[in-house]
Homo-oligomer: A and B are copies of this chain.
Amino acid sequence: MVAYLCPFDMKRDIFQAIADPTRRAIIALIALQAMTPNAIAENFHTTRQAVSKHLRILTECELVTQEQKGREIYYRLKIDKMKEIDEWLEQYRKIWESRFEQLDTLLSELKQQENMR
């Protein structure tokens, strides 16, 4: 829940944030180690400003945090925020696990019938 909504603040949710392949790649890059915009940009063929734009979006979605050290800014992945996707996925995980269990039960019953012959 955000305190307020501006025309550009928090206008995207986390799913919109990860929809872009470049942003997913940035997330993967900084997953284990915070990195600076220049260090991140070195891994892409686009401009540094394009990467900076993506970092702003990820920051607005609270997926990353900034940590300034002199003129360098370190962007760190807020791993806890990724749990929001996991929590959303939980409802579907229950469904596919439920179906897997149903299949497992069916297979067991079929095996039992097989053994009774």
A64 to B99, CA, bound (A): 17
Cβ distance A59 to chain B, nearest Cβ, rounded Å: 18
Interface residue A89 (Cβ < 8 Å from any Cβ of B): yes
Q: Is there an interface contact between B95 and A89, defined as CB atoms closer than 8 Å?
A: no
9-residue interface stretch from A42-50, A78-86, A106-114? A78-86
Using A18-B15, A21-B13 as known contacts, say yes or no to A86 and B89 having CB atoms under 8 A apart. yes
Interface residue A40 (Cβ < 8 Å from any Cβ of B): no
A33 to B91, CA, bound (A): 14
List residues 67-92 of chain A with CB under 8 A from any CB of chain B.
79-80, 82-83, 85-86, 88-89, 91-92
Interface residue A6 (Cβ < 8 Å from any Cβ of B): no
**Chain B, residue nearest A96 (CB):** B79
Q: Choose among B15, B32, B88, B91 the residue that contacts A19 (Cβ–Cβ < 8 A).
A: B15
Interface residue A31 (Cβ < 8 Å from any Cβ of B): yes
